[in-house]
Amino acid sequence: MIARRRQVALALTALLTAAAACQAQARHESASPARPAPPAARDFTLVASGDILPDTSVMERANFDANGNGFDFLPMLSGIQSVVSRADLALCHMDTVYGENGDYSGGPVFKSPPEIALGLTATGYDSCSTASAHALDDGAAGIRRTLDAMDGTGLRHAGTARTEDEAHTVTLLPAGPAKVAHLSYADSTNGIVPPPGQPWAVGLIDEGRILADARAARKAGADVVVVSLNWGTEWQDAPDERQVALAQRLTASRTGGRPDVDLILGTHAHVPQAYEKVNGTWVVYGLGDQIAGEMTNHEGARDQRANQSTLARFTFTAPAHRGERWRVRRAEFVPQMYDLDAGRTLDLNQAIAAGAELTSVRDRIRDVTLSRGAAKDGLVMGQ
């Protein structure tokens, strides 16, 4: 069984790598001045994924994929590259900070190899939320190394900051015909206090601040405001009362009749949680862990749910009149799993089509994702 799953993962890697190359060539050809420019699109597609939480086994796998020379995280992510790279905007969640010069640790205090940023960029991600429970695991130095590495690969970020000015600067991202603001906040930093004189180093969840930042983002030119929240109760499939209540209040807030927040993306719980349309706005309570090693839950038992997650995919369409809301025309989720044996993140629909015996895993993720009635509001499982 293990051998079969490993073969499936490696076959998918080769297939998706070839597909990505074809897509890159197509993008190059479409940019040629010899071809007429297509009409301006009125839609854009946003993809978002969950926690990247590399333990020692994940780092060892990335080192193996680099033939023992550093770390290569692109093969680990190649199974979902076709979904990510086709989006106009792709958002990830970096749950850990980066170390340097071999000073890495896989928990409970995390310092990850900075090569992760290169793997994420090569996969097609445009920006990462960085406010998390582990954002202060190595203090200000960890934040600086992480954001420096992201900047070096062109990966944008939101949620942590090296300076006070950076903390108050809106992360504005191009997405087809739109500008998207990416905001990021964490419920806690595992009891670690911010560095002296740097209370702004990590964005913490505060309803008033989130809404003020969202309004500032709108004034800065954002057509769509996306809020990433590192929140919830670990190992709990259902959103907790705080998540539900905060989602209600954030999505109810309006300025000039227009919602202040257009999409909420949740992380932290280690397990997939439901999607729900609240006050007309999509809320993903928990995307799950996109990359994590073998984990044990609060009962001390190995919990395979920590290797299950979803990719959220939302297609936004432009309003008829300037200043009105961009609306979600299509809402989808793609079930995925990090295969511990192969060291690969799998698009479960593709893996099952290729012969992997993972239907029960996919169906469990589907049932949790739809558990708060999202299907009636149009959420579907994407391919």
Any domain includes 250: yes
Q: Is position 32 within any domain? A: no
The per-residue pLDDT for 13 is: 42
In a domain, 172, yes or no: yes
Nearest alpha carbon to residue 205 among 259, 245, 169:
245
44 lies in a domain? no
The per-residue pLDDT of the chain, averaged, comes to 91
Of 6-20, 185-199, 239-253, least confident by mean pLDDT is: 6-20
Q: Specify the CATH number for the domain of residue 214.
A: 3.60.21
Cβ(170)–Cβ(216) under 8 Å? yes
The answer to whether residue 47 is domain-embedded is no
pLDDT tens string 290-339: 999 999 999 999 999 999 999 999 999 999 998 899 999 999 999 999 99
> Mean pLDDT across the stretch 229-243?
98
For residue 57, the SS3 value is: helix
Condensed to tens digits (0 to 9), the pLDDT of residues 138-165 reads 999 999 999 999 999 999 999 999 999 9
| pLDDT recorded at residue 383 | 84
Residue 9 has what pLDDT?
A: 40
- Answer yes or no: is 84 within a domain: yes
Phi, psi of 98 (to 5 degrees): -100, 145
Residue 49 belongs to a domain:
no
- Label residues 204-223 b or e (16+ Cβ within 10 Å = b): bbeeeebbebbbbbbeeebb
Judge whether 323 lies within some domain: yes
In 3-state terms, what secondary structure has residue 365? helix
Counting the structural domains of the chain, the total is 1
pLDDT at 34 over 50: no
d(CA 203, CA 132): 9
**Structural domain range at position 119:** 2-21+54-381
